[in-house]
């Protein structure tokens, strides 16, 4: 009996939502080649609705069941000019989502948000988030979207869904926030479709310290005279 399957994973060179079109393309390829995935719900964490809209337009032939999970109403994002704004799905886009059957979940908070004054809780949340972020910042976003969709009743505990963020997609077994680490009914990441290879945002590679580089170069220079001196020594005659 065959007990293994080979599936491709696409890796991006860097993190970031600029990978979103390619993420949707990867999901489309998976649906095209694997019929068992076509009936699964898709859970997309989105700020302004771009991800769910792109997914619907690209995958409409498969009649996708899309759940858009937004950031909390109190969430603020920073623009390039360092000013802050609160991202929202526009009313026009909400009407479109209603018309095509895209559910929208607006949570009060995200599962990994800190609670002021609850340091013990915050430490546990940070530990869980940091562990999942080993796979990339987008993975933490995917997991939180699935948890909140399950909390809202849009997804059942134990139901397999396709989780999508701006730079990753995965096949996930859903769970609620309260049970997601439980062995019985907890969340599982079953398969990775695509993800960043280099964690340029979540865990960027630290730049080498200039002082360390200079120090090493000085050490090399200090070694050179000794080498030259050894080479200059005449050979002993027997």
Residue ranges, the chain, pLDDT below 70: 1-2, 207-238
42: CB partners within 8 A, 6+ apart: 27, 55, 59, 64, 65, 66, 67, 161, 162, 163, 164
Distances (CA, A) of 141 to 66, 98, 166, 226: 16, 24, 9, 56
Bin 199: left if φ > 0, else alpha if -120 < ψ < 50, else beta: beta
Please answer whether residues 103 and 67 qualify as being in contact, where contact means their C-beta atoms are separated by less than 8 angstroms.
Answer: yes
Closest listed residue to residue 159, CA positions, set 50, 39, 73: 39
How much is the pTM? 0.83
Q: How many residues does the chain have?
A: 238
Render 184-196 in DSSP notation, one character per residue: TT--EEEEEEEEE
Cβ count near 17 (within 10 Å): 15
Provide the pLDDT for residue 5.
Answer: 81
Provide the pLDDT for residue 230.
Answer: 46
Provide the pLDDT for residue 228.
Answer: 45
Provide the pLDDT for residue 103.
Answer: 97
Provide the pLDDT for residue 123.
Answer: 93
Provide the pLDDT for residue 78.
Answer: 78
Provide the pLDDT for residue 234.
Answer: 52
Q: How far is CA 157 from the centre of its chain?
A: 21
Domain boundaries defined on the chain: 10-196
Provide the pLDDT for residue 66.
Answer: 98
Provide the pLDDT for residue 192.
Answer: 97
Q: In 199-215, which positions are buried (b, 16+ CB within 10 angstroms) versus exposed (e)?
A: bbebeeeeeeeeeeeee
Q: What CATH number belongs to 10-196?
A: 3.40.1380.20
């Amino acid at each position: 009996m065959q007990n293994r399957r080979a599936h491709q994973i696409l890796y991006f060179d860097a993190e970031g939502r600029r990978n979103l079109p390619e993420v949707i393309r990867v999901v489309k390829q998976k649906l095209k080649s694997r019929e068992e995935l076509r009936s699964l719900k898709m859970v997309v964490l989105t700020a302004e609705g771009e991800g769910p809209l792109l997914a619907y337009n690209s995958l409409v032939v498969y009649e996708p069941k899309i759940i858009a999970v937004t950031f909390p109403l109190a969430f603020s994002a920073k623009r390039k000019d360092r000013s802050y704004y609160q991202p929202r799905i526009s009313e026009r886009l909400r009407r479109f989502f209603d018309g095509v059957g895209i559910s929208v979940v607006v949570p009060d908070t995200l599962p990994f948000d800190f609670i002021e004054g609850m340091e013990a809780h915050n430490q546990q949340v940070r530990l869980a988030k940091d562990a999942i972020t080993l796979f990339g910042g987008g993975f933490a976003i995917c997991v939180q979207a699935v948890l909140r969709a399950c909390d809202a009743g849009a997804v059942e505990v134990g139901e397999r869904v396709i989780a999508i963020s701006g730079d990753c997609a995965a096949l996930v077994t859903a769970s609620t926030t309260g049970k997601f680490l439980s062995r019985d009914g907890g969340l599982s990441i079953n398969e990775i479709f695509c993800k960043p290879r280099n964690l340029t945002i979540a865990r960027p590679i630290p730049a080498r310290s200039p002082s360390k580089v200079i120090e090493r170069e000085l050490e090399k220079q200090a070694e050179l005279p000794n080498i030259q001196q050894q080479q200059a020594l005449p050979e002993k005659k027997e």
